[in-house]
Amino acid sequence: MSELKEKAQSSDTQKCIKCGGRTALVSGYWNYDPDQEPYTDGIEESSEVGRGDAYMNGFICDDCNTIQDVFVDEENYKSRLSELESELAAVKEERDKYREALGCGEAWPITDVLQKLVESTNYLLDVYNYDRVGWEEVSYCTKLGVQYIEKINAVLAEQALKQ
Ligand SMILES: [Zn+2]
């Protein structure tokens, strides 16, 4: 008995349709677009099947790499989809907590509050020549305040695009 036939007989997967070899069950994620000539070669038309993705299973031959009996793994697809939906909901919940803490959607979000504090502190420093103990730190904090406003506004602008 040839090695190929021995292998084929020792497995419980289907035999290769081309060479009779042993096949392995494989699974993968498939992201697809309809072909421009989906039904008839040489005739462009739009396919009833739209873009999509799916988890697929199939059998591949050990010896000639022929892939056969490919089928959609609905179970895997649905459970992965619901996992992703839960992850997305958790991320959105987290994002909303941060947005609330930053006063997004409020009349006075943190960036506007910080801006007013920086302005009034600079006024005290410059116009009233504020020089009590720790004025250097207060002055440094106004510079940091301006940087934080820029960083927070940049992140919030990014978030707004993602919504
Ligand atoms: Zn084969």
Structural domain boundaries enclosing 144: 102-162
Average pLDDT score over residue span 104-124:
95
Residues lining ligand 1 (ion), CB within 5 A?
A: 16, 18-19, 21, 61, 63-64, 66
Residues 15 and 51 in one domain: yes
Residues 56 and 15 in one domain: yes
User: Is 80 exceeded by the pLDDT of residue 104?
Assistant: yes
pLDDT band at 4 (very low <50, low <70, confident <90, very high): low
Residues 11 and 59 in one domain: yes
Pick from 18, 42, 77: which residue ends a domain? 77
Q: How close is the Cα of 67 to the center of ligand 1, in Å?
A: 8
Average pLDDT, the chain: 90
Q: How close is the Cα of 10 to the center of ligand 1, in Å?
A: 15
Q: For residues 75 and 102, which has the higher predicted lDDT (pLDDT)?
A: 102
What does the pLDDT read at residue 81? 86
Q: How close is the Cα of 30 to the center of ligand 1, in Å?
A: 23
Whether 93 maps to a domain, the answer reads no
pLDDT band at 156 (very low <50, low <70, confident <90, very high): confident
- pTM metric for this prediction: 0.53
Interior/surface letters 112-140, b for 16+ CB within 10 angstroms, e for the rest? eebeeebeebbebeeeeeeeeeeeeeeee
Whether 84 maps to a domain, the answer reads no
